């Protein structure tokens, strides 16, 4: 039998009624002849509640026990989903990560998947089980302890199972009906995409689009897992949602596929840094050790063997960055005259695989922002992406103007 993976997020299983609704969708796929692997998240809000209980009980918690507690939300959902399917006369069984087993590293709360041996579940399919309901977000370490994959890890679980079982497709059910050209809450002209290439989705996910977790898209691209993002609140349809696939499956696409934004960005500038070999390595190693997620980096032309160095990071990591750099300066490892932090910026990006073969995208983007009197503070580019930092107060204006300029409301 062909295998289909279906993943249901927290909002899709938030109540017993929603679990029943999701189970009916599973039943439709079983009726089509699929053996189905269902990956479930915890019911909406449950993981936050469990994390809160851990932090209230033990502020300096043991990461192993943290994983034991926060993974329990998925276990509850898996059991309830299996019971619901059984009530529908569909042979189903729930599985926790260690029962599969989903083998991970020992890094608790952010473990990486190492292997998913398929034998146990395939044997049960062979014995007549039609649906394996698996608790997402969790696995088991080499020491036999429960691990979790980090927030949003159920998406990663789903793609990993699709790869391990050579599934025909991996359907991600959520509270949105697909991937849009930009955030519909900001731009009313945002259009749902029928298809989007893995690389485009990876860039959009990493740049602020919340539809899919970045790690799940990376896995899907590596193993060529066809992903479909769709809403669990709309009527089932073969054409529903957005298919995330190899670019060879997309006949014709626009030069720019979407406009992404990240609101909570900060720009930090080190003034008058020594311009010598190794200084950048020292600075960014220290920031990495402090778990500061650095993104855009710009270094000015040196004068008198001194230079200015600018980088961006999330606003909630600014204090961490300032502390790490101050400690380096105090220890004599790096010398700079001043660290200037601007926490009122945002990142705007245009993404599209068509940029590989088309010129003028950057010029058009910059001209559009200029026409709106929006000053660009930092620019970075890749093969299929152009990102800029601008004042946060212009974020919505920039997104709308760029969406209109690249005519993203119109199909290719």
Check whether 180 is labelled as a binding-site residue. yes
Check whether 10 is labelled as a binding-site residue. yes
Residue 209's pLDDT is what?
Answer: 66
Q: And the tokens for 49?
A: 């509640």
Check whether 254 is labelled as a binding-site residue. no
Rounded Cα distance between 24 and 263, Å, is: 38
Per-residue pLDDT of the chain (412 residues; tens, 9 = 90+): 899 999 999 999 999 999 999 999 999 999 999 999 999 999 999 999 999 999 999 988 999 999 999 999 999 999 999 999 999 999 999 999 999 999 999 999 999 999 999 999 999 999 999 999 999 999 999 999 999 998 888 999 999 999 999 999 999 998 888 899 998 889 999 999 999 999 999 888 877 666 788 889 999 999 999 999 998 888 877 778 999 988 888 876 789 999 999 999 999 999 999 888 888 999 999 999 998 999 899 888 777 788 899 999 999 999 999 999 999 998 888 888 999 999 999 999 999 988 888 889 999 999 999 999 999 999 999 889 999 999 999 999 999 999 999 999 988 6
Check whether 210 is labelled as a binding-site residue. yes
pTM exceeds cut of 0.95: no
Check whether 133 is labelled as a binding-site residue. no
Check whether 7 is labelled as a binding-site residue. yes
Rounded Cα distance between 236 and 213, Å, is: 24
Residue 252's pLDDT is what?
Answer: 65
Check residue 39 and give left, alpha or beta (phi > 0: left; psi -120 to 50: alpha).
beta
**Domains detected in the chain:** 3-175 (3.40.1160.10), 259-405 (3.30.2130.10)
Residue 254's pLDDT is what?
Answer: 81
Check whether 175 is labelled as a binding-site residue. yes
Q: How far is CA 2 from the centre of its chain?
A: 28
Residue 208's pLDDT is what?
Answer: 63
Check whether 188 is labelled as a binding-site residue. no
Residue 115's pLDDT is what?
Answer: 96
């Amino acid at each position: 039998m062909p295998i289909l993976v279906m993943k249901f997020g927290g909002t899709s299983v938030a109540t017993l009624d929603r679990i029943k609704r999701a189970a009916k969708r599973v039943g439709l796929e079983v009726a089509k002849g699929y053996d189905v692997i269902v990956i479930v998240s915890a019911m909406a809000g449950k993981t936050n509640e469990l994390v809160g209980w851990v932090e209230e009980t033990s502020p300096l918690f043991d990461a192993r026990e943290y994983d034991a507690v926060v993974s329990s939300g998925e276990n509850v959902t898996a059991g309830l989903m299996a019971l619901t399917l059984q009530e529908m006369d569909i042979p189903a069984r729930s599985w926790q990560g260690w029962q599969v087993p989903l083998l991970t590293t020992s890094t608790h709360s952010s473990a990486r998947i190492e292997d998913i041996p398929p034998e146990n579940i395939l044997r049960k399919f062979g014995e007549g089980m039609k649906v394996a309901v698996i608790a997402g977000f969790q696995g088991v370490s080499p020491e036999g302890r429960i691990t979790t994959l980090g927030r949003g890890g159920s998406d990663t679980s789903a793609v990993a199972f699709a790869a391990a079982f050579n599934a025909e497709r991996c359907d991600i059910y959520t509270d949105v009906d697909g991937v849009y050209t930009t955030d519909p809450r900001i731009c009313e002209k945002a259009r749902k995409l029928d298809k989007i290439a893995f690389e485009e989705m990876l860039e959009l996910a990493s740049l602020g689009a919340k539809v899919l977790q970045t790690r799940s898209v990376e896995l899907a691209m590596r193993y060529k897992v066809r992903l479909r993002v769709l809403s669990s609140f709309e009527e089932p349809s073969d054409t529903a949602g957005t298919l995330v696939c190899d670019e060879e499956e997309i006949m014709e696409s626009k030069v720019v596929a979407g406009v992404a934004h990240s609101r909570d960005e900060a720009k930090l500038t080190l003034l008058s840094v020594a311009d010598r070999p190794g200084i950048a390595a020292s600075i960014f190693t220290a920031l990495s050790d402090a778990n500061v997620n650095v993104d855009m980096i710009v270094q000015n032309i040196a004068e008198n063997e001194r230079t200015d160095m600018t980088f961006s990071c999330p606003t909630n990591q600014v204090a961490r960055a300032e502390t790490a750099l101050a400690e380096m300066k105090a220890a004599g490892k790096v010398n700079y005259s001043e660290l200037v932090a601007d926490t009122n910026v945002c990142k705007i990006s245009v993404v599209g695989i068509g940029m590989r073969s088309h010129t003028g995208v950057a010029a058009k983007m910059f001209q559009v922002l200029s026409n709106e009197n929006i000053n660009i503070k930092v620019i970075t580019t890749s093969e299929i992406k152009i990102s800029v930092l601008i004042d946060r107060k212009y974020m919505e204006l920039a997104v709308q103007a760029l969406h209109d300029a690249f005519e993203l409301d119109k199909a290719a």
